[in-house]
Structures are given as C-alpha cells and as structure tokens.
C-alpha cells in the first residue's frame, strides 16, 4: 500500500475539506487521549500560517475515508515541527505512516527549513521506531510534557 498510497495536502477552501476534517476529528478522538488531541482545535490549527495537513484516504465513493494524516508547522525559516501523525488502526503496518511522515518532511524541505523536530511519548514504541527509521534522533526527554506522568522525547532531524 505504501507505494500506491496517494498522499494529498489539504486545501481548506476545497469543497471536500469539511468531510476530510470531520474524518480526522473522529480519528483524533479515537486514537489520542483528550489532552493530546487536536480534535477541538483542528480548524484553528489549520488557520495558522505555515501549518499544513497531509492525508491519505482508503475506500472509494461513499466508503472513502481518511486512512492517515500528518500535520506540520514551519514555525520559523530555520525550524519546523511535525505536530501530528496518525494512521487508522486497520491501515497500519502497510507503510502509510512512513509515507505521510516523508511527505511532511519533504514539504518542510521545500520551504528550506533546516531542522524538523517533534515530540513523542516514549511509550508510543511504534511511533518512536518509525521516527528513528526516518532518521530522527532523540535530543532530550521533557518530563511532564503531556501530563504529570507522561514525558516526551524531543526528536529532531537536520535536513
């Protein structure tokens, strides 16, 4: 599926954007705990300058729905962040997460950003393995980043 997956960038003004965002909000609520979820702030996040959303769908016609998504923000001309990455449970382990991450990094590269960073809970072993495979390194452990009991790895990759 990885090679065949079509990766799209969301155009918030396109007529299908509402449906795509609704799908993503549903996935957000299912996959992430409330304090880590962007479900309630997705629309606001997307209005931010220099923020982009990449996604892929599965199914056709009425059955078409978002299979995975990645959000990135080019905060400065030097540094960008991957702020979200998730793949629907039934579509995992087929290369889609890697394809979405690579597409997001490529968007940052085209903006001539020098470093891409992200935060991830070390307990998310699948995600940590994916980021390492893509070339990210752990920079620091940030205690209490997500909540009192949940730390984060800060990871980065220089482009």
Ligand X SMILES: CC(C)(COP(=O)(O)OP(=O)(O)OC[C@H]1O[C@@H](n2cnc3c(N)ncnc32)[C@H](O)[C@@H]1OP(=O)(O)O)[C@@H](O)C(=O)NCCC(=O)NCCS
Interface residue list for ligand X (CB under 6 A): 31, 85-87, 92-98, 120, 124-127, 129-130, 133
Q: Which CB sits closer to ligand X, 113 or 136?
A: 136
Q: Which CB sits closer to ligand X, 14 or 133?
A: 133
Q: Which CB sits closer to ligand X, 21 or 36?
A: 36
Q: Which CB sits closer to ligand X, 26 or 124?
A: 124
Tell me how far, at minimum, the Cβ of 113 lies from ligand X, in Å. Answer: 19
How many CB atoms sit inside 10 A of residue 126's CB?
11
Tell me how far, at minimum, the Cβ of 42 lies from ligand X, in Å. Answer: 15
Tell me how far, at minimum, the Cβ of 67 lies from ligand X, in Å. Answer: 9
Q: How far does CA 132 lie from the centroid of its chain?
A: 15
What backbone torsions phi and psi does residue 157 show, to the nearest 5 degrees? -140, 130
d(CA 18, CA 15): 7
Burial grade of 115 (CB within 10 A; 0-12, 13-18, 19 or more): middle
Tell me how far, at minimum, the Cβ of 156 lies from ligand X, in Å. Answer: 14
DSSP letter (8 states) at residue 91: G
Tell me how far, at minimum, the Cβ of 22 lies from ligand X, in Å. Answer: 18
Residue nearest ligand X by beta-carbon distance: 97
Q: Using an 8 Å Cβ cutoff, are 149 and 120 in contact?
A: no
Closest-CA residue to 45 (of 28, 60, 31): 28
d(CA 9, CA 28): 18
Q: Which CB sits closer to ligand X, 14 or 123?
A: 123
């Amino acid at each position: 599926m990885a090679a065949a997956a079509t990766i799209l960038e969301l155009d918030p003004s396109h007529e299908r954007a509402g449906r795509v965002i609704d799908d993503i909000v549903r996935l957000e609520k299912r996959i992430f705990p409330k304090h880590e979820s962007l479900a309630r702030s997705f629309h606001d996040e997307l209005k931010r300058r220099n923020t982009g959303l990449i996604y892929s769908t599965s199914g056709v016609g009425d059955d078409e729905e978002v299979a995975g998504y990645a959000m990135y923000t080019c905060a400065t001309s030097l540094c960008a962040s991957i702020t979200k990455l998730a793949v629907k449970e039934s579509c995992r382990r087929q290369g889609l997460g890697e394809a979405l991450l690579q597409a997001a990094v490529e968007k940052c590269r085209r903006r001539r950003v020098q470093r891409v960073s992200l935060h991830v809970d070390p307990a998310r072993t699948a995600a940590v393995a994916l980021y390492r495979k893509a070339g990210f390194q752990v920079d620091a452990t940030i205690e209490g980043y997500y909540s009192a009991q949940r730390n984060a790895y800060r990871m980065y990759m220089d482009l």
